[in-house]
Structure 1
Amino acid sequence: MARQRRRICDQAGAHPRSEASGRRQELRDVQLRTGSGVTHDLTIVGVETTILDVPLVRPHKFATTSMTAQPLLLVAVRTAAGAIGYGEGVVPGGPWWGGESVETMQALVEKYMAPVLLGRRADNITAIMRDIERVVASAQFAKAGVEIALHDAWARSLDVPVHTLLGGAFRRSIDVTWALGAAPAAEIIDEANEILDARRHFSFKLKMGALDPETDTRRVVEITEALQGKAGVRVDINARWDRLTALKYLPRLAAGGVELIEQPTPGDQIEVLAELNRLLPIPVMADESVQSPHDALEVVRQRAADVIAIKTTKLGGLRRSRETVAVARAAGLACHGATSIEGPIGTAASIHFACAEPGIDFGSELFGPLLFEEELLIRPLQYSEGQVQLPDGPGLGVELNMDAVKTWSRN
């Protein structure tokens, strides 16, 4: 099979729709001048997608699946002046979570989204994403890859970091919780203690939902008791328990020292989440229940959660993420910088967002690249003392190692 790297267009003129040719020519004539006097043409002349399969340092287990490698879709947007912006389409372990996969994302970007981009300016993000909504419903993970690539290309053209486009960074780092997966208790405790000794992370999240609830609850309480006084422990059930199971076991988890419960029941059952939130003495976090700003509004109306998990992937990019955070902040809910196990491009975008958005006030899980066996950047993201640092430099502030990208591109 041919390597999964596809160049959608080498120049804006390759776009076949005559109706857009005049607009493209007009846009080519519009130049953005920086303070240095250098002219930058922001016209989008190329879109490229690449599927990678990057091995992990250990299997990562979810409620319904496990993965030893993470598939990523790189989306590259190239301007007439030569700026290249990157975005990332990624879901946590495949289509089980939200229905998308790297394969479906690639098809949507190539056939339906790229024609909307070509000939437009990279800084015309609002109009571009509005027009994409008219031809592609849902598919927020794919749209996030495109939207973030546009931000990266625009910021690089201006020689400023992406967070400048979001209002500027008010902090230079953010706390990072480490996900310990769904392994046996002894294995989890050993891993947690090694991480604590290295001072890499100081809080942990455990996956639940893959085992019998009784066995799973005993396992988590054993881990929580072993780490008591050393680290906070929260759990993520990935929406796999029904109401009666949750009513039976969640109080036991809270009594056992768990500090937060993430999405115990199906995402569309917000009234059940609200019932559980009223019952529990510890915070409840909504993840699968919040995939749009309107979902956040419904969680607020029903008082279904205390914290909302903000994934720039599931929400369709940086702008819809900001809208979702605004709803939560207006209601006094906290927001957590969550992850879809992104690679370094997607993680860097979420770090820029979290460092520019005061509403991300419940830490983060932006650990994705630490789970990867292979480094994809020339200079890795910096993790230490329980935090990840905001990258410096234009755009997302990171540079891909193209040799590594080639190595792990799908054949």
Structure 2
Amino acid sequence: MNELTIESLQTTILDIPLVRPHKFATTSMDRQPLLLVAIRTTGGVVGYGEGVVPGGPWWGGESVETMKAIIDGYIAPVIVGRRVDEITGIMLDIERVVARADFAKAAVDVALHDAWARSLGVPVHTLLGGAFRDSVEVTWALGAAPVDEIVAEAEQKLAQRLHFSFKLKMGALDPAEDTERVAAIAQALRGKAGVRVDINARWDRLTALRYLPRLAEAGVELIEQPTPGEQLEVLAELRQILPVPIMADESVCSPYDAFEVARRRAADVIAVKTTKCGGLARSRVIVAVAQAAGIACHGATSIEGPIGTAASIHFACAQPGINVGSELFGPLLFAEQLLIEPLRYADGRVALPQGPGLGVELDLDAVRMFTRN
């Protein structure tokens, strides 16, 4: 039997504590569940992928529990016995069996890329066309503490040269209160660091028209998904009247979504999460659509662990279209380390891991420690 043949697929749910609670518009979390996907070949190579969503099923309808059920029950039978270098055909066949479930498919896509690259003895970015840079900028997500504590956290990151731009979540508080909070932070950091916001699609049109100009006035440099993802006309209207870029996140989960955003001129930037887009292969198509339309792309995060983050770093370093930095800070939020050698963050950037596959090695003792019983 060929050494590239997939012998088995195994899924494991992990629960990793965070260094502090991470808040979204509708929820917060103090630990991040991860679904670890391991694909083993007959040649003895193991490739890993990671199923992860930002804070649970509120974002896209998936959770680690649904991903595990879908992968174990429906995707594994499609791929066991196939070759790991048949990624295109495998993913097409999975589409015939499972609709949507893009976060689950992304985990499998990454595991296939990792296993294939390790079998060849090359890094994953080689399968994506090769890296043209060896690191990518990383924006840090600030917490939901009082203004003075948030500013102090940002200034500490600046002093340590860890991050030079920051993102604040909005949408959970009264819009007037939320706006004044963020405006105060932006004004305190003006001239020192870039500040951007993510409203997670929680404001309606009138709220956005009323408060977004105030944020721009205060020095916010970029506004992410202020209104519901399907309301592209509203996003386009806001883009026309605001003096700062609009980034689409919830609005873009597929190449067709990217095409519609481009056609309607609804955003200046697209947040490309390799997780929500269904993996590395589909993410490449989305970036290509954006590039053709002159839209910038940002390496966004679902608060991935080290496997998902490493995959996104390889992607960003091999894609010139990812040209507005990244938020690939996920492992820095984790209170526990899952790798034998951590990812390297310094000078506002994260380095491209070196070595075959994703270039990272899991600490299997740590994996066992955080495995959900």
> 1:183 offset after TM fit, Å?
2.9
Q: 1:208-247 alignment to 2 at 5 Å?
A: 208-247=170-209
> Aligned pair 1:183/2:150, yes or no?
no
Q: Give the aligned partner of residue 10 of structure 2.
A: 48
Between the aligned partners of 1:183 and 1:116, the Cα distance in structure 2 is 46
Letter in 2 for 1:408: F
Q: Give the aligned partner of residue 64 of structure 2.
A: 102
> 1:356 offset after TM fit, Å?
0.4
Between the aligned partners of 1:279 and 1:138, the Cα distance in structure 2 is 34
Note the alpha carbon deviations across 1:60-104, whole angstroms, 9 max, x for none: 000000000000000000000100000000000100000000000
> 1:275 offset after TM fit, Å?
0.6
> 1:186 offset after TM fit, Å?
1.6
Q: 1:268-279 alignment to 2 at 5 Å?
A: 268-279=230-241
Between the aligned partners of 2:371 and 2:41, the Cα distance in structure 1 is 23
Indicate the SS of the match to 2:113: helix
Q: Give the aligned partner of residue 7 of structure 1.
A: none
Between the aligned partners of 1:368 and 1:183, the Cα distance in structure 2 is 19
Indicate the SS of the match to 1:309: strand
Between the aligned partners of 2:286 and 2:245, the Cα distance in structure 1 is 19
Note the alpha carbon deviations across 1:250-290, whole angstroms, 9 max, x for none: 01100111000000000011111001001101000000000
Q: Give the aligned partner of residue 348 of structure 2.
A: 386
Q: 1:351-366 alignment to 2 at 5 Å?
A: 351-366=313-328
Q: Give the aligned partner of residue 260 of structure 1.
A: 222
Q: CA RMSD for the aligned pairs?
A: 0.6
> 1:181 offset after TM fit, Å?
3.2
Contact kept in structure 2, 1:344 and 1:381, CA below 8 Å = yes
Contact kept in structure 2, 1:47 and 1:75, CA below 8 Å = yes
> 1:190 offset after TM fit, Å?
1.2
Contact kept in structure 2, 1:62 and 1:181, CA below 8 Å = no
Q: Give the aligned partner of residue 3 of structure 1.
A: none
Contact kept in structure 2, 1:61 and 1:183, CA below 8 Å = no
Note the alpha carbon deviations across 1:214-270, whole angstroms, 9 max, x for none: 000000010001111110000000000000000000011001110000000000111
Q: Give the aligned partner of residue 299 of structure 1.
A: 261
Q: Give the aligned partner of residue 100 of structure 2.
A: 138
> 1:118 offset after TM fit, Å?
0.6
Between the aligned partners of 2:234 and 2:22, the Cα distance in structure 1 is 28
Between the aligned partners of 1:211 and 1:190, the Cα distance in structure 2 is 21
Note the alpha carbon deviations across 1:23-68, whole angstroms, 9 max, x for none: xxxxx3xx4xxxxxxxxx1000110000000000000000000000
Letter in 1 for 2:371: S
> Aligned pair 1:290/2:226, yes or no?
no
- Of 110, 123, 129 in structure 1, the residue corresponding to residue 91 of structure 2 is 129
Contact kept in structure 2, 1:182 and 1:210, CA below 8 Å = no
Indicate the SS of the match to 1:195: helix
Between the aligned partners of 1:386 and 1:290, the Cα distance in structure 2 is 27
Note the alpha carbon deviations across 1:361-388, whole angstroms, 9 max, x for none: 0000000000000000000000000000
Between the aligned partners of 1:185 and 1:264, the Cα distance in structure 2 is 21
Letter in 1 for 2:161: R
Aligned length: 373
Between the aligned partners of 2:304 and 2:142, the Cα distance in structure 1 is 16
Please, which runs of 5 or more residues in structure 1 have no aligned partner?
Answer: 1-27, 32-40
> Aligned pair 1:156/2:113, yes or no?
no
TM-score normalised according to structure 2 size: 0.99
**Aligned residues with identical type, % of pairs:** 75
Please, which runs of 5 or more residues in structure 2 have no aligned partner?
Answer: none
Q: Give the aligned partner of residue 113 of structure 1.
A: 75
Between the aligned partners of 2:117 and 2:245, the Cα distance in structure 1 is 37
Note the alpha carbon deviations across 1:200-226, whole angstroms, 9 max, x for none: 000000000010000000000100011
> 1:182 offset after TM fit, Å?
3.0
Contact kept in structure 2, 1:181 and 1:205, CA below 8 Å = no
Note the alpha carbon deviations across 1:291-311, whole angstroms, 9 max, x for none: 000000000011000000000
Q: Give the aligned partner of residue 318 of structure 1.
A: 280
Between the aligned partners of 1:56 and 1:218, the Cα distance in structure 2 is 28
- Of 289, 292, 302 in structure 2, the residue corresponding to residue 327 of structure 1 is 289
Q: 1:80-91 alignment to 2 at 5 Å?
A: 80-91=42-53
TM-score normalised according to structure 1 size: 0.90
Q: Which structure's CA Rg is the greater one? A: 1
Letter in 2 for 1:247: L
